[in-house]
Structure 1
Amino acid sequence: MIAANRANWDARVPVHLDGGYDLDALRAGQQRLADFEYAAVDVRDRDVLHLQCHIGTDTICLARHGARAVGLDLSPASVAAARGLAAECGVDVEYVAAAVDDAVDALGGRRFDVVYTGKGALCWLPDLTAWARVVADLLRPGGVLHVVEFHPLMNAAADEQSWPEVVLDWPYLPSGAIRVESAESYAGSGELEAPVSYEWTHGIGTVIGAVTGAGLRLTSFAEHDVSPWRRWPDMAAAGDGWWTWPGGVPRLPLLYSLRAQAPGWTSTSRRA
């Protein structure tokens, strides 16, 4: 299943490079992360690892914000595209091709001040307990995990809605691998040569349990009613490329953000 996902993400690269990510705006200096993401963790002059970085758009934004940024992704095509995009943007970012489970070895045992994982990443991982243990091994003492993810309620919502009701048709709690076959991606145009992928659902409790079970201390958790993904065509614009629920719809969360800290913090450590 992981091999199928690697092939699927390799196939998404040309589609996403062809107008799917508004890359001209990124090249012109536009930030893709929300203000609350930058406010949550201090990345300036810190070693930051972006797991599951895809073509590296968010990694570039972290570097522009002062991070010494490294991006890691299981898709070799994504990593190649990320390197080219960083060069076009004039930003110094290191990219490594590896699955999350292999990250410690692939990075030569290096440790980081911040491990960041962004929107739409965790659904591609079958075992969050293993993921959290890898994150703990990648963090320096006192280092910070920063997760910004699509809320499982948003993921559970159906593609076709009957507003003002919100219809759910996807699992919220873990339910095993879900096989998806689609020749289209969520961004860009063109058919995928490898249309089969596998996803896993993870409820909020699963995520928090995995993080704390790996020995990380939860320091903040928040839910947000905005999304960078226009999940439904009648979503309302929230400004700066972000979207929210249409008018009259219950205000359910679309994203959540989580911050956790590795053991070893002292009063002389930099603010997380």
Structure 2
Amino acid sequence: MEDYVRFNQASWDERAPVHATSRDYHVEAYKTDPKLLSQVVTFDLPRLGSVEGLRGVHLQCHIGTDTVSLSRLGAKMTGLDFSAASLAEARALVRDSGDDVDFVQGNVYDAVELLGEGQFDLVFTGIGALCWIPDIRRWAGVVAALLRPGGRLFIREGHPMLWSLDDPREDGLLAVEFPYFERKEATVWTEGGTYVETDHVFANNTTHEWNHGLGEIVTALLANGLRLTMLEEHESAPWDPLPGMSERLPDGEFRLADRPWRLPQTYTLQAVKPG
């Protein structure tokens, strides 16, 4: 196992149970409300279109709330993640909710070997997934191989411009501090805590991450034979990435309170494999 995988997997394994019991993920609500959909999926319903009857795979599915949401919209979903602890929480969720979703453990680069070539009408990936991938072209090749002719990739992801920013400054300026473009060397973080509210003290706090420019992502998909059919940048995100500088919108998204048009925070992308 490569070192970056070992570090990242240890971090996610430790955080998954905390995420599953946090109020941010609403796991208990999924078990009692069969109509509940995740905020990420709900935001993109106007763009997603019908998934009824599609066979779909959610790459890097974590604890499965987006995966379950797509299943509730009518897709036959499989979730893939490298974290055994994340998948334990995902399986517990569907066991208690009654949703029909399969979960498979594995590295995203091994998805074709694990799940089969040309088996899916829909490949989905969500917020905070691509930063764990060192080589975006290799990832795009996996996506293309998983899709059947006529199948599509659908992404809602944090914008690479947002990932390149430093923490909020006291003077309110936005400072570009980290790579925008993909680099061979990872950005290595050693930070306690996580993105949900918790008092838990974590032991595995080192992670390796990579950014990928928007042009690099699009070019990687085109180079692997996919056809881009949608790319929409958004001034909001489903979490508060810049505390102290944000305002919460009625739909639960966050954007800059001061001149939000300055910064794309997320994007939605769709690409189709020609039939």
> Which consecutive unaligned segments of at least 5 residues does structure 2 have?
none
Alignment of 1:175-214 (within 5 A): 175=183, 176-189=185-198, 190-214=200-224
| Structure-2-length-normalised TM-score | 0.90
Residue 40 of structure 1 is aligned with which of 33, 39, 47? 47
* Residues paired across the two proteins, number: 264
Measure how far apart 1:119 and its partner are: 0.6
C-alpha separation between the residues in 1 aligned to 2:89 and 2:233?
32
Pair 1:24 & 2:35 matched: no
C-alpha separation between the residues in 1 aligned to 2:140 and 2:7?
23
C-alpha separation between the residues in 2 aligned to 1:172 and 1:253?
13
Q: Secondary structure at the match of 1:140?
A: strand
- Show the counterpart of 1:149: 157
Alignment of 1:30-179 (within 5 A): 30-32=36-38, 33-41=40-48, 42-109=50-117, 111-162=119-170, 164-175=172-183, 176-179=185-188
Paired amino acid for 1:151: H
Measure how far apart 1:132 and its partner are: 0.6
C-alpha separation between the residues in 2 aligned to 1:161 and 1:89?
43
Q: Is the 8 A contact 1:86 1:93 kept in 2?
A: yes
C-alpha separation between the residues in 1 aligned to 2:150 and 2:116?
20
Q: Secondary structure at the match of 2:236?
A: coil
Measure how far apart 1:250 and its partner are: 4.4
Paired amino acid for 2:36: Q
Structure 1 vs Structure 2 CA RMSD: 1.7
Please list the CA deviations of residues 28-63 of structure 1 after superposition, one character each: whole Å capped at 9, or x if unmatched. Answer: 343223545223233111111100000001001111
Q: Is the 8 A contact 1:15 1:188 kept in 2?
A: no
C-alpha separation between the residues in 2 aligned to 1:224 and 1:25?
28
Please list the CA deviations of residues 101-127 of structure 1 after superposition, one character each: whole Å capped at 9, or x if unmatched. Answer: 111111144610010010100000001
Structure 2 vs 1, CA of residues 122 and 5 (structure 1 numbering), >3 Å: closer, same or farther? same
Structure 2 vs 1, CA of residues 261 and 229 (structure 1 numbering), >3 Å: closer, same or farther? same
C-alpha separation between the residues in 1 aligned to 2:260 and 2:225?
39
Measure how far apart 1:165 and its partner are: 2.8
Q: Is the 8 A contact 2:125 2:155 kept in 1?
A: yes
Q: Is the 8 A contact 1:226 1:254 kept in 2?
A: yes
> Which consecutive unaligned segments of at least 5 residues does structure 1 have?
265-272
Please list the CA deviations of residues 5-41 of structure 1 after superposition, one character each: whole Å capped at 9, or x if unmatched. Answer: 1111111112212314232343434322354522323
Paired amino acid for 1:165: L
C-alpha separation between the residues in 2 aligned to 1:153 and 1:83?
34
C-alpha separation between the residues in 1 aligned to 2:91 and 2:207?
24
Runs of 4+ in structure 1 off by over 6 angstroms are none
Q: Is the 8 A contact 1:18 1:188 kept in 2?
A: no
Measure how far apart 1:163 and its partner are: 5.9
Q: Is the 8 A contact 1:17 1:188 kept in 2?
A: no
Paired amino acid for 1:24: E
Q: Secondary structure at the match of 1:83?
A: helix
Measure how far apart 1:164 and its partner are: 4.8
Paired amino acid for 2:6: A
- Show the counterpart of 1:270: none
Q: Is the 8 A contact 1:149 1:257 kept in 2?
A: yes
C-alpha separation between the residues in 2 aligned to 1:88 and 1:245?
38
Measure how far apart 1:159 and its partner are: 1.6
Q: Is the 8 A contact 1:164 1:249 kept in 2?
A: no
Greater mean deviation of Cα atoms: 207-216 or 15-24: 15-24
Pair 1:14 & 2:17 matched: yes
Measure how far apart 1:154 and its partner are: 1.2
Q: Secondary structure at the match of 1:239?
A: coil
